[in-house]
Amino acid sequence: MPEPLRRRPDGEVLPRLRAGSVALDNDPRRMGLLTPRVLVGKPSSLRETFEANGYLWLKGLIDRAEVLEFRRHVFQAFADTGLLAPNSDPVDGVASGADRAEDVARRRLMELVRSAAFEAFCLNPGLWRFMDDFLGGLSYLHKRKLLRHTLPGQNFSTPAHYDLVYLRGGTDRLVTAWIPIGDVPVEMGGLVYLEGSHALGRRMESEFRVASGDLPAEERTSAYNRHMQEGGWISKDLPDMAERFNARWLIADYEAGDVVLHSPYMIHAATANDDPAGRIRLSTDIRYQNVRDEIDARWANHWSLDDML
């Protein structure tokens, strides 16, 4: 058995992670570290790295204090749901562990994604200026923006998928920005990428296109058509995928202020939140493209929990 993976080459051995209820192997043949980049010069200079790797993890693109302020704002909005531990500071996002008013929590979430504060957070000038240059023209931010909170100990984590499955109605020249709202060390269950899988996603999509020639147009663009698995996922079994494709899952300790971009073909998932301090993982994932490219009309509405996308 090779040496287990460490947080840094000289650092501590990483804790055992899980995705849903499946434990991941801490084996350097199946797990590795995401490579961070710092923006120096023009964003377009990082395009090559993005194309080569299928992702770009940018350190400190957004002001950390602004990100934490927004984390506080979100958790304050959940105050009447019983989500947070009594007398805790909302910016810490420590879960109460008690039953919460699910219907109130859902309503708060749907209000938040429609709020001016969330819009302003996503329209951070550092981010849109970056995107304008990165996309080589005016950037368009899709209106449908997801805001996710993952409770410690929760059994569900986002299964493996690539984003184009949900965005087949427009261009494939898309860039997703996943933004941790607060620090997300690996034990809090951040995004994980299957190394080099943007080539695999592209192949799967072209196979799907051939196989779905018999479907009516509307079904062909849907992630829920009869050629896809439930929800458009590729798999919930991350270790099995790493074996099957002889690849590593790349993990990272994300910090408030970071932004990670990925290609619509890059296969990714999330691990579960097993934070020993019981904090809630908060993040947003939003999609950009050049305004001149075809836009998937289904994404021109705010996210709702039953929008089937």
Ligand X SMILES: O=C(O)CCC(=O)C(=O)O
- Contacts with ligand X, residue ranges (CB under 6 A): 148, 158, 163, 176, 178, 191, 268, 270, 283, 285
Min separation Cβ 148 and ligand X, Å:
5
**3-class DSSP string for the chain:** CCCCCECCCCCCECCCCEECCEECCCCCCCEEECCEECCCCCHHHHHHHHHHHCEEEECCCCCHHHHHHHHHHHHHHCHHHCCECCCCCHHHCEECCCCCCHHHHHHHHHHHCCCHHHHHHHCCHHHHHHHHHHCCCCEEECCCCEEEEECCCCCCCCCEECHHHHCCCCCCCEEEEEEECCCECHHHCCEEEECCCHHHHHHHHHHHHHHHHHCCHHHHHCCCCCCCCHHHCCECCHHHHHHHCCCCEEECCECCCCEEEECCCCCEEECCCCCCCCECEEEEEEEEEECCCCCCHHHCCCCCCCCCC
Closest CB to ligand X among residues 53, 283: 283
Question: What is the rounded distance in angstroms from the CA atom of residue 309 to the CA atom of residue 299?
Answer: 8
Q: Which amino acid is at 267?
A: I
Min separation Cβ 216 and ligand X, Å:
27
Min separation Cβ 86 and ligand X, Å:
27
Closest CB to ligand X among residues 124, 176: 176
Closest CB to ligand X among residues 148, 173: 148
Closest CB to ligand X among residues 113, 213: 113
Min separation Cβ 32 and ligand X, Å:
19
Closest CB to ligand X among residues 158, 222: 158
Question: Closest CB to ligand X belongs to which residue?
Answer: 285
Min separation Cβ 156 and ligand X, Å:
9
- Contacts of residue 9, defined as CB under 8 A and 6 or more positions apart, other chains included, come to none
Closest CB to ligand X among residues 43, 189: 189
Min separation Cβ 102 and ligand X, Å:
19
Closest CB to ligand X among residues 175, 247: 175
Min separation Cβ 299 and ligand X, Å:
13
